[in-house]
Structures are given as structure tokens and as C-alpha cells.
Chain A
């Protein structure tokens, strides 16, 4: 059986449709994005310092090129294929799309990694993407009056601690769901604690994107170890 037929056997019609649409629409967005500096350059008609521009690009790409690989491998199994097409087009993945996906899967009461979870995740990421585009657009048009309010001494501590609040709300019910989830969370959490104290919060935060695949592998291996022990105990 050739490769395409094999792939069709593994992926159902819905998944194939998601990939077809995801690839085509992502390619169109990429072209539309490149058109912005390209058409602007042609319209303005001034020469660009290519050497300096390339230097700046290589500096940025050297980091974000690596992060692309890391985040691609890490996030796809969590948000599903459709979710990842949208995450990588709309951005704000860690602080918005991933939490939206995880909280929605939990809210729907479906098993992570299931077909249902993949579909729920895509709904959550799509709605989150639409919401963000709308909020940012309104912000561009006329919500700039909110800026001094959000930066006021009264409200600043709240927005400065948005991520701790988000992660506390998201992680606590999942970590403490039952004794199994506590056991699963124990080793990755312990390693995170040790690393935070060993290298400092600031350094660990800067390296978190690169540490992510390592922690995901540790979490899976630890879960496999617990799974094997449980199976052995059940057999005995």
C-alpha cells in the first residue's frame, strides 16, 4: 500500500480535511504576511540596507528557529493538529491558546488525547483566536484609554501577576484531581522546584521554552513508570 493510502487509513476524513484546510490557509496567510513588507518596499521605493537587515534577521531567527522545532514537537500532541495550525498563525500560544485548550478539555470532561479532546481543543483555540483579534482590533481603534488604567499603581500588581493567576487557576484542579494526578505531577514539579532554586527563577523562565520538551519527556517517562507499577500490582 503506498504512503498516501497508509496515511488515509490512519487519519480519518475529518483529520484529512483539517490538514488540507490548515495547510492551504496557512500558506495563504504566509504569503499575505510577506506581501506586507514586499509591497510596502515597492511602493515606498527606497533601498534597504540588506546586509544589516539580514544580520538582524539571523539574530532573531537563530533563537526562534530553534523554538519553532521545540514548540512544534511539544504542543502538537497537547492541542491537536487543528489547534496547532491556529496557534502558529495567531500566536500567544503559551499564555492564551494552550490554557484555553487545556481548560476546555477539562470543562468538557473528555479524556486528554482523545478524538473528543482534539475537537474540543480546536473549538477553544478558534474562539480564543477570534476573541483576541477582536480585542486587539478594538484596542487599536480606541481602547488606548485603558492603558493608563491598566498601568495605574492600583491595578498594576494585578496585571503584573496575570501569569501566576492563570497558571494557579489552570494547574491546581488538574494537579490535585486525584491521587494518580498528584503522583504524575510529583516528579516534574520536584525537578522544576530544584531547577528554580538552582539556576534562579529569571534564568529558568528564559530557558522555559527550551526546557519544555525535556519536561514533557520526563512527565511521560514518569507516567510510564507509574503505569508499569500499577499494572504489576494489579497482576499480583
Chain B
């Protein structure tokens, strides 16, 4: 990597620039959490339920956050320590960040990100493309979400079928994401993983209904089932090798 580019990418100024949006996002999430928590209590949801929800979400989110560190380690040699940290924390996804960075360097005629000819000017271009390429998401919310939410809320108020329709949306989402994994015969370990994770989830639910200890386990059913499913991939991949 070009030393001049790296000096800019790893400078204190870059750290400050990247830390500010991340701090704002953290503040935003905390305020949303407080607002939702207060409203939840006001509409009669027990605090114990809210604590379980928060714990479930926090525990579940740790494992899928770990692969982001791998992407961070891939992007850091090319883009410095701080910009990938910003990109993967704010409006980021591994797929988008890799695509945006790679598309930009290829536009300049380079084959990969870690090229010593990537000058400060090209680094700035990468920063611009990665920032602007995905800014449409929050802008869509700012302009259209209130109107859309008003329409959805007024449909929900009519009651009847609309309540079931939302439940169907959940199922439709999971059908698109999950069923292909279940029938992807080219990745048999993926198939066994999804089955094991599903079975563990069902077993924990059944156990939870029968005993008090089980009901405590149920709070962690989702992350436990996911981790057991992932762990099962290790011996099964060895067997299928």
C-alpha cells in the first residue's frame, strides 16, 4: 500500500472524522431504545419481558458480529484502520463494502485493493463511492417512511386479515432466506446445519413447556440453537470430506 495513502488513512484526523458518525449512531440507538422501553412499559409489557428481549438480542448479535471482524481485517490493509471501522458500523454490510471498494479500484485500472499505486486521490475516490453508494437507504427513510408507516398503520387499524398478513410477511422472508439453504445439495453441511439448529430450537421449546428450568433456557433458545448448529458443522464437514 502507498505509504502516503496509508499515512492519511491512519491519521488522527481520519480517526476523528470516523468516530463522530459512529458516536452519533450509538446515541441514536440509545435514544430509540429509551423511547421504545418507555412506550413498552406504558402499554403494559412487563419489564421482565423487555429485559429478556434485550438480553436475547444482545447475546444473539455477538456471533454474527464476529465475521465482520474478518471483513475488517481484509479491508484494513487497503483502507487503513479507521475507514473500514466506520463503513462496517454505519450503513454497512460486508457485501456492499467489499463491492464498492473493489468496483472503484477496478474503475481506476487496478486489480485489487492492496496495490502500492493507490494514491491519496484514488483513496479519496474510494471513500466517496463507498459513502454515497448506499446513502439512498437513510434518505428513503427520511423522505418516505412516515407516509408509508401511516398507510400501513391505517391498514392495521382496520383489523381482520391485516394482522395475519404481517405474520405471513415474516414467513415469506424466511422462506426466501432459509429454504434455499435447506435444499442446497452442493453444500450438504449447510443442510445438516440448518436441520440441527432447527431441531435444537424445537427441543428447547418442548423442554421449556415442561419445566421451569426449560423456560429459562427458552430465553436463549435462538442463540443456543444457532451456535449448536454452527458447531455441528465442524464434525459433519470432517465426516463428509
Are B124 and A29 in contact, CB atoms less than 8 angstroms apart? no
Q: Which residues of B contact A135 (CB under 8 A)?
A: 61-62, 65-66, 68-69
Instruction: Please tell me which one of the listed residues B26, B61, B162, B202 contacts residue A100 in the complex, with CB atoms under 8 A apart.
Output: B61
Assuming A82-B35, A168-B197, is B128 touching A53 (CB within 8 A)?
A: yes
Assuming A53-B125, A126-B33, is B141 touching A72 (CB within 8 A)?
A: yes
A-B interface contact total, Cβ < 8 Å: 542
Are B222 and A107 in contact, CB atoms less than 8 angstroms apart? yes
Instruction: Please tell me which one of the listed residues B30, B170, B227 contacts residue A130 in the complex, with CB atoms under 8 A apart.
Output: B30
Cα A163 to Cα B100 in complex, Å, equals: 23
Instruction: Please tell me which one of the listed residues A64, A127, A184 contacts residue B61 in the complex, with CB atoms under 8 A apart.
Output: A127
5 A-B residue pairs with Cβ-Cβ distance under 8 Å, sorted by A, are A40-B124, A47-B121, A82-B35, A113-B156, A219-B175
Are A167 and B178 in contact, CB atoms less than 8 angstroms apart? yes
Beyond A104-B53, A168-B181: 5 further Cβ-contacts under 8 Å? A120-B36, A120-B53, A140-B72, A172-B197, A173-B202
Cα A211 to Cα B58 in complex, Å, equals: 29
Q: Could you give, for residues 49-74 of chain B, a 1 whenever the CB lies within 8 Å of some chain A CB and a 0 otherwise?
A: 11011101110111111111110110
Q: Which residues of B contact A34 (CB under 8 A)?
A: 131-132, 135
Are A124 and B53 in contact, CB atoms less than 8 angstroms apart? yes
Cα A147 to Cα B77 in complex, Å, equals: 14
The yes or no answer to A229 lying at the interface (CB within 8 A) is: no
Are B174 and A171 in contact, CB atoms less than 8 angstroms apart? yes
Instruction: Please tell me which one of the listed residues A21, A37, A117, A191 contacts residue B32 in the complex, with CB atoms under 8 A apart.
Output: A21
Are A131 and B57 in contact, CB atoms less than 8 angstroms apart? yes
Are B129 and A53 in contact, CB atoms less than 8 angstroms apart? yes
Q: Could you give, for residues 222-234 of chain B, a 1 whenever the CB lies within 8 Å of some chain A CB and a 0 otherwise?
A: 1101111111011
Chain A minimum-CB-distance residue to B26: A133
Cα A59 to Cα B130 in complex, Å, equals: 12
Interface range, A side: 35 or more
Q: Which residues of B contact A205 (CB under 8 A)?
A: 180
Instruction: Please tell me which one of the listed residues B157, B179, B195, B229 contacts residue A193 in the complex, with CB atoms under 8 A apart.
Output: B179
Q: Which residues of B contact A146 (CB under 8 A)?
A: 66, 69
Q: Within the complex, what minimum Cβ distance (angstroms) separates B238 from chain A? A: 8
Q: Within the complex, what minimum Cβ distance (angstroms) separates A22 from chain B? A: 7
Chain A minimum-CB-distance residue to B93: A91
Instruction: Please tell me which one of the listed residues B136, B154, B162 contacts residue A64 in the complex, with CB atoms under 8 A apart.
Output: B136
Are A167 and B174 in contact, CB atoms less than 8 angstroms apart? yes
Interface range, B side: 35 or more
Cα A212 to Cα B149 in complex, Å, equals: 19
Are B198 and A19 in contact, CB atoms less than 8 angstroms apart? no
Assuming A37-B131, A165-B197, is B169 touching A26 (CB within 8 A)?
A: no
Assuming A53-B128, A81-B149, A127-B33, is B231 touching A158 (CB within 8 A)?
A: yes
Q: Which of B17-59 contact A (CB under 8 A)?
A: 17-18, 20-22, 24-33, 35-37, 39-40, 43, 45, 49-50, 52-54, 56-58
Cα A146 to Cα B50 in complex, Å, equals: 32
Are A158 and B230 in contact, CB atoms less than 8 angstroms apart? yes
The yes or no answer to B112 lying at the interface (CB within 8 A) is: no
Chain A minimum-CB-distance residue to B222: A103
Assuming A89-B91, A131-B58, is B69 touching A143 (CB within 8 A)?
A: yes
Are B90 and A89 in contact, CB atoms less than 8 angstroms apart? yes
Instruction: Please tell me which one of the listed residues A77, A89, A163, A216 contacts residue B25 in the complex, with CB atoms under 8 A apart.
Output: A89
Q: Could you give, for residues 194-236 of chain A, a 1 whenever the CB lies within 8 Å of some chain B CB and a 0 otherwise?
A: 0111000100110010011001111110111001000000000
Are A57 and B132 in contact, CB atoms less than 8 angstroms apart? yes
Are A10 and B157 in contact, CB atoms less than 8 angstroms apart? yes
Cα A40 to Cα B12 in complex, Å, equals: 12
Q: Within the complex, what minimum Cβ distance (angstroms) separates B201 from chain A? A: 5
Chain A minimum-CB-distance residue to B151: A10
Are A36 and B17 in contact, CB atoms less than 8 angstroms apart? yes
Are A159 and B66 in contact, CB atoms less than 8 angstroms apart? yes
Q: Within the complex, what minimum Cβ distance (angstroms) separates A27 from chain B? A: 6
